[in-house]
Amino acid sequence: MSAPPKELIRFLQRFDPAIRELALDARELVLRVMEPPNESVLDVYVLAMNYGFSERMKDQVVYIGVYTKHINLGFNWGARMEDPEGVLQGAGKQMRHISIQSPADLGSPVIRDYLLRAVPEGAVRSKTLKTKIYPSRRTPAPGDFKRKGGKMADNKTKPTELSVSAFIDGLPEPRRADAKALVKLMQSASGENPKMWGPSIVGFGSYHYKYESGREGDMPVVAFSPRKAAIVLYGLRAGSDAELAKLGKHTTGKGCVYVKKLADIDQQALKALAVAAVRAPARS
């Protein structure tokens, strides 16, 4: 994964820390899913990161537009794309975009699916990225984008003192029953008691991570979040594709596994994946 250029970090200085991190996470997702060989960064009216499969501007297919309160994940030929989820916004003849306001929005499996759809047929992917930075017309004076102590903006997903039982009891059925079953399964697999991470993630154990960008923090080893659209399972990607295939009906996203309901999957296979995640080498 290509680390963000220093110029891009400098361009992001004028935005709040949460938006900076969201933009960098979006960039990381685009590079991981699409593997485009070319990136260009323009900071004029909007800070935009553009991605394509040649150096020509007309061959760019995806862009990330950074705004004060959100980012847009844009599709240069979005008007031609099928939109079964009804998430594409815009009314022009060519471009469409999806508004991203939080890490939860970015973590949706729909985002990964639409990025894959945007890859042109026959496109040559590459793990080597060539970046072109255009001179900015509106960059603030150079300063330190880091917080006191030299650390990047903090990860907002942290363990809290919120009650796991109260959180689960407040869920509607059948999410409540599934959440109770997942607590029992993951507690058995990990040997750890459940703990709330942020407002809606139930985690077990913890590990420390550090990205190439310098951002670092702690995350649960295995966890789940019972959202309205799906149950999100974290940490299970340590398993092999063959092990994931045994799980049953699911989709995958950026480090996550999504299931509609617990009845759709093999719970023994789920427990095996959770055990494998706990036994996996320490992450960094």
Q: 67-85: per-residue pLDDT in tens?
A: 988 999 999 999 999 888 8
Note the pLDDT of residue 149: 44
Q: How does residue 203 score in pLDDT terms, banded at 50, 70 and 90?
A: very high
Note the pLDDT of residue 91: 80
Instruction: Compare 146 and 28 and report the one with higher pLDDT.
Output: 28
Note the pLDDT of residue 137: 58
| 1 has a pLDDT exceeding 90 | no
Note the pLDDT of residue 140: 39
Q: How does residue 156 score in pLDDT terms, banded at 50, 70 and 90?
A: low
DSSP 122: T
Nearest Cα neighbor of 4 from 37, 45, 49 is 49
Sign of CA dihedral 217, 220, 224, 230: positive
Note the pLDDT of residue 256: 80
> Does the pTM exceed 0.85?
no
Cβ proximity of 73 and 97 under 8 Å? yes
| 54 has a pLDDT exceeding 80 | yes
Note the pLDDT of residue 40: 92
d(CA 25, CA 154): 13
- Amino acid type, 213: S
To the nearest whole percent, how much of the chain has pLDDT over 70?
Answer: 85
Q: How does residue 212 score in pLDDT terms, banded at 50, 70 and 90?
A: low
Question: Per mean pLDDT, which range of 89-98, 140-149, 181-190, 248-257 is the poorest?
Answer: 140-149
Q: How does residue 162 score in pLDDT terms, banded at 50, 70 and 90?
A: confident
| 182 has a pLDDT exceeding 90 | yes
Burial class (CB in 10 A: 0-12, 13-18, 19+), 113: middle
| 211 has a pLDDT exceeding 80 | no
Mean of the per-residue pLDDT values of the chain: 84
Tokens of 237: 């990607």
Question: Per mean pLDDT, which range of 28-32, 104-108, 131-135, 207-211 is the poorest?
Answer: 207-211
Q: How does residue 152 score in pLDDT terms, banded at 50, 70 and 90?
A: very low
Kindly report the three-state secondary structure assignment for every residue of 25-65. HHHHHHHHHHCCCEEEEEECCCEEEEEECCCCHHHEEEEEE
d(CA 181, CA 187): 10
d(CA 94, CA 61): 11
